[in-house]
Amino acid sequence: MTNVVEGGGHAVAADRLPALECRAIGKEFPGVVALRDVSLSVRKGEIHALLGQNGAGKSTLVKVLTGVYQPEAGEILVDGKPVRLTNPRDAEAAGIAIVHQDQQLVAQFDVTRNVFLGNEIVRTGGFLDLAAMSRATETVLARVGASFTADTLVSDLSVAQREQVAIAAALLRSPKILVLDEPTASLSDKEAELLFGIVRALRDEGVTIVYISHYLDEVLDLVDRITVLRDGRLVATLPVAETSRSGIVSLMVGREISQLYPKETVPLGNTLLEVKGLRQGNAVKGVDLTVRRGEIFGIAGLMGAGRTELAMTLIGALRRSAGTVEINGEASDPGGPRAAKAEGFALIPEDRRHEGLITDMTVRENLTLPNLPLWSRFGLLNLRREAASAVDLVERLRIQPPNIRQLTKNLSGGNQQKIVIGRWLAGDAEIFLFDEPTTGVDVGSKVEIYRQMVELARRGAAVIFISSDFEEIAGMSDRIAVMHKGRINKLFEPGEAVPETLLYWASGSGDNESDSTAGESMDEAGTALPSDVPPSAAAITSAPGLLARWGTIAGMLLVLVAIAVLAPQFLSVGNIFDVLKQGSVLALVALGLTVVLVAGGFDMSAGAVSQLTMNLAAGTLIAGAGTAAAIGLGAAAGLAAGGLNALLVLGFGMPPFVATLGAMFVAMGATLLYNGGQALTLSGQSEFFYIGQGYLGPVPFVFILLLATTAVLHLVLRRTRLGLRMYAVGQNLAAAKLRGISQVRYATASFAIGGLVLGLSGVVLASYSYGASALATGIDFLISALAAAFLGSTLNKAGELNVMGTLVAALFLASLSNGLILIGISSQALPGIQGLVLILSIALGVIHKRGIGQVLIF
C-alpha cells in the first residue's frame, strides 16, 4: 500500500476505498435548482471539507446525505454499496450521523433526553432506561470536554454548550461517517481546539468526517481534502496541500476578492451615542464608551465577556443596574426593544434564526415587518409600495434567490442574515448594533455585510460591531474596545489593533497592566460568571422563570389563605373533601387536554366531548346496561373523538383550533340529539355512583382515581419512549423530524390518549352528577381545563406542560371556585373569574418561556 502526504501533513492512503460516494446527484425546489450533477467521493478515515458560499448547495447536499431530502437524480453509496435514504433513521442505519449548524435540540429536555432522542435505551414495555442513558451521556460529555452534567436542562446552556450536546448525540451513535455542519461557528478558540482534537481522534479511529465550515484557516489546518460547490455544481476536489486561502476563495466565488475587508475612511461627525458607567448585574460592569456619526466602533471579546449583554442593555431587553446613556445629548433609557426602536436603535442579533427572523414568513414580510407604518395609511397597508421596497432591498443586498415570496426558512444562512440587516435599511435607525453578524456566513456574503456597514457609516449612522473574529474586527473598525469579564479593559485608536493584540487583551492577559485609556469604571465587588456559562442565560431567562414559577406558587397560597380568613368554613374537613371531589372531575378533563397539548396539538372539543360521554354513560345506565358498559361506551366515544381530531388535523392538514372547534360543535349537536334537550337523571345506581360520590375510608374515591390516572399519565409521558417523543414533537418538531420521529404517529397518539381520558372523565362526571345535565356546560369545562393546563405549566423549571402541574392547578381552581361561593360571590360571576385566571395563567407561561428570541421583532 502506497502512502502519500496530503494537506496539513496528514498521511492518507492513495488507494483507499471511498466510504461515501455521491453519483450525479440532482435536487430541485420550485424555481430553484439546488444541486446539479454533483459527484463526490470521500475516502475512509479522512477529514473532507465541503466548502462553498451560502446558497452554493452545501446544506442541500448534506440533507440528501442524511435522508432529510430525497434527490430527483443520482445515487448514494456507503462502503461501495448503494443505499436509499428516505429519512434520517435510514441514514443513521447506514452509519451516517450529522451535527447540524442550528443545533436542533429540545430546550425543555435535559441533556440526556436530547442526546438519546430517537435512539432511546428502553426496557420491556417501552420504558426508558434513564440510568443507563445518563451514564452513557456522562461518558460522551467527558469525551467532548463538557463542563455540565447529563441532567442539565438544555435551555440553561449557552450556544457553545448546545453545540457540545449536538456533537455528543452524534458520537453516541458510533457513526462511520460524521457530518459536521459549521461546528465551530459558536465556539470560543479554546472550545474549537478541543473539537479539533476530537475530530482528529475520530479520524485516527477510522471515522470519516465531512466537515463544513466558512472558517478557511481552520479548514487549511484540519482537513485532508476539500470539495468546493458553487451554484449547485461541484467545481473542484483537491488535496488541501495543493491550494491556499485565496485559491479556495476564488473557487467559491468564481472570481478574485481583492479586498476581503472593504473598509473606507468616512468623515466622522459629532458624538451620537455616549455611555457612562453602564451596569447590568454581573454581565456588564461599569462600561464607558462614545460612538460618533460615521464611525464603525468595534467591540471585541471572547464568549462570556458581556458583549451581547451590553447590546441588550442598550436596547432595554435587559434592565440596567446603573449608568447613563445619551443619544445626541438626550437621555436614553428604553423600557424595551420597541421603545429602543423609537429612539433610533437597530439590532442585528447573534442568533438570527431565533432572535432576528420569523422563518415561517416570507422574505418580503421579514424585510418590511419593523417598518410597516412607512407603507400604511389609516392602518391600511399599501401592498404595492411595500412589495416595491422589499424588491429594492433584495436587489441592494443581492439576496438569493431574488424572490420576495420565498419562505425565509428555505434560504441559506448568509441570505437570512442579509434579510436581518435589510429590514432596518428602510427605517430611520441611527445606531446599528451588529452582534456577530458573520457567524456561519460565507466569504462572499461577509463582504456584502461589511459593505452595508460602511454604507450605514457613510450616511451618518453609528455602527457598533461586536465580534469574536479578531481579524474581521481589526479590518473593519475605526476604534476598538476590548471587553473581558464585563469590562472594557483596552481601547484601541484607528490603526492600532491587530488580531494578536486583540486576543491578548480579550483573554485577560493585559488585565494587570495599568492602562487608563479604556475609560472603564472598575468595581472589584462584582463577581464574574464562569466563562463557559453565558451571563445572558442567568440574566435573561432565570429571572422571568423564577418569577413565573415561584410567583405562581406564592400567588396560589396567598389566595387560599385569604379565602380561609374570609370564610373559616373553607378549611373544614367536609368542605375539603367536597373540593377534592369537585376538583377531581375538573382535573380529569384538564389531564385529557394536557396530553393533547403536550404533542403540540389543541382541542377545543375537550369539554364538549366530556359532556357527550357523560350523556352516553347516563343513557346507557337508564337503558338497563351496567356500569362496565357505561365505562366502555364512554372510553370508546372518547377514543373516536380523539381519532376524528387527529384525522382532521394530521390527515387533512386543518389548523388544530379550527378542526377541534368544528368537532366541538359536532359533539354538542350529538349531545342534544341524544338527550333531546332533557336532563338524564339517574337513581338506584349505587355501584356507578360510587365512582363519583363514594369514599374509600375518609378519602373520596374519585380523588384516588384522579391520583392513579395522573400517576399513569406521568409515567407514560416522562418515563416511556412514547411520552418522550410526544413531548419532542410538541416542543421542537424540526428536532424531532431530524431524529426520524414521525409527527403523525406521536401526535395521533396524543389525540387518542387525550380522547380516552376525556371520554372517561365524562363517565366520572355522570357518576358525580347523578346523571347528565341538558345544559351546554362543555365551554365552562374547556375554560377551566385550559386554565389548569397553562397554569400548571408555570410550576416546573422547564415551563413545559405536565400532568402533575395540571393536577395541582385544577385543584387550586376548584378551591378558588368553592371559596368564592363561600365568601358570597355569585356563581354567575365564576365564568368571568375563570376567564381571568386563564388569561393570567397564559401570561405567566409567556413570562416563563420568554427569552431574547421574543424581543427583536419590535
Distance (Å, whole) CA 667 – CA 644? 11
Do residues 768 and 680 make contact, with C-beta atoms less than 8 angstroms apart? no
Among candidate residues 404, 427, 450, the one where a domain is terminated: 427
659 in the same domain as 785:
yes
CA distance 449 to 438: 8
Q: What is the pLDDT of residue 845?
A: 55
Instruction: Enumerate residues 6+ apart whose C-beta is below 8 A from 325.
Output: 273, 274, 275, 276, 278, 314, 331, 332, 333
Asked whether residue 380 is domain-assigned, the answer is yes
Q: What pLDDT sits at residue 42?
A: 95
Q: Please tell me the predicted confidence (pLDDT) of residue 853.
A: 34
* Closest-CA residue to 7 (of 227, 199, 224, 197): 224
Q: Per-residue DSSP letters for 270-286?
A: SEEEEEEEEEETTTEEE
Is 661 within 8 Å of 778 (Cβ atoms)?
no
9 falls within a domain = no
CA–CA dist 85, 428 (Å, integer): 49
* DSSP calls for 680-724: EE--S-HHHHHHHH-EETTEEHHHHHHHHHHHHHHHHHHHBHHHH
664 occurs within a structural domain: yes
Decide: 695 and 701 in contact? Cβ < 8 Å. yes
The vertex-642 CA angle with 639 and 646, nearest 5°, equals 135
Asked whether the beta carbons of 571 and 564 are under 8 A apart, the reply is: yes
Q: Buried (b) or exposed (e) across 437-451, using 16+ Cβ within 10 A? A: bbbbbbbbbbbbbbb
Query: Final residue of a domain: which of 381, 396, 427?
Result: 427
User: Taking the chain (858 residues) in consecutive chunks of 10 residues, what is each chunk's mean pLDDT?
Assistant: 37 64 89 86 94 79 90 93 90 89 82 94 93 95 88 84 87 90 75 84 89 84 92 91 82 61 89 93 90 94 82 89 92 87 85 72 84 80 86 83 82 79 80 85 79 89 89 90 90 88 75 44 35 38 49 80 90 90 92 94 93 95 94 96 96 92 93 92 93 92 96 96 95 87 94 96 95 79 85 78 92 88 78 69 55 36
**Residue 500 contacts by C-beta under 8 Å, 6 or more apart in sequence?**
none
The residues facing 147 across adjacent strands are none
Taking phi first (over 0 means left), then psi (-120 to 50 degrees means alpha), and beta for anything else, what does residue 301 get? Answer: left
For residue 528, is it within any domain?
A: no
Burial class (CB in 10 A: 0-12, 13-18, 19+), 832: exposed
Angle at 169 between CA 167 and CA 172, to 5 degrees: 110
Is position 144 within any domain? no
- Asked if residue 634 belongs to a domain, the reply is yes
- Domain termination site, one of 395, 427, 459: 427
- Kindly report the CATH number assigned to the domain that includes residue 713: 1.10.3470
> In whole angstroms, what is the distance from residue 417 CA to residue 440 CA?
10
Question: What does the alpha-carbon distance between residue 132 and residue 295 come to, in Å, rounded to a whole number?
Answer: 56
Taking residue 282's Cβ as centre, other Cβ atoms within 10 Å add up to 18
DSSP bridge partners of 484: 487
CB count in 10 Å sphere of residue 165: 28
Q: Is 684 left (phi over 0), alpha (psi -120 to 50) or beta?
A: left
Residues 411 and 548 in one domain: no
pLDDT of residue 4: 33
Instruction: Give 131-176 as a 3 state SS string.
Output: HHHHHHHHHHHHHCCCCCCCCCEHHHCCHHHHHHHHHHHHHCCCCC
Task: Give domain status of residue 688, yes or no.
Answer: yes
Q: Is 253 exposed, middle or buried (0-12, 13-18, 19+ CB in 10 A)?
A: middle
- Label the pairing between strands 695-696 and 699-700: antiparallel
Report the run of H or E that residue 677 belongs to, with start and end: none
Cβ(587)–Cβ(706) below 8 Å = yes
Q: The domain containing residue 373 runs over which residues? A: 349-427
pLDDT given for residue 291 in this prediction = 95
Q: What are the grid coordinates assigned to 351, written together?
A: 442568533
Quote the distance between the C-alpha of residue 168 and its chain's center.
19
Q: Which of 474, 538, 534, 541 is nearest to 504 (CA)?
A: 474
Do 687 and 819 fall into the same domain? yes
Q: Which residues face 598 on adjacent strands?
A: none
- 699 and 822 in a single domain? The answer is yes
Concatenated DSSP letters of 207-274: -EEEEE-S-HHHHHHH-SEEEEEETTEEEEEEEGGG--HHHHHHHHHSS--S-SS--------SEEEE
Same-domain status, 558 and 690: yes
Q: Which three cell numbers stand for residue 694?
A: 363514594
Number of domains in the chain: 2
For residue 249, tell me if it sits in a domain: no
The per-residue pLDDT for 512 is 54
Cα-trace Rg, the chain: 30
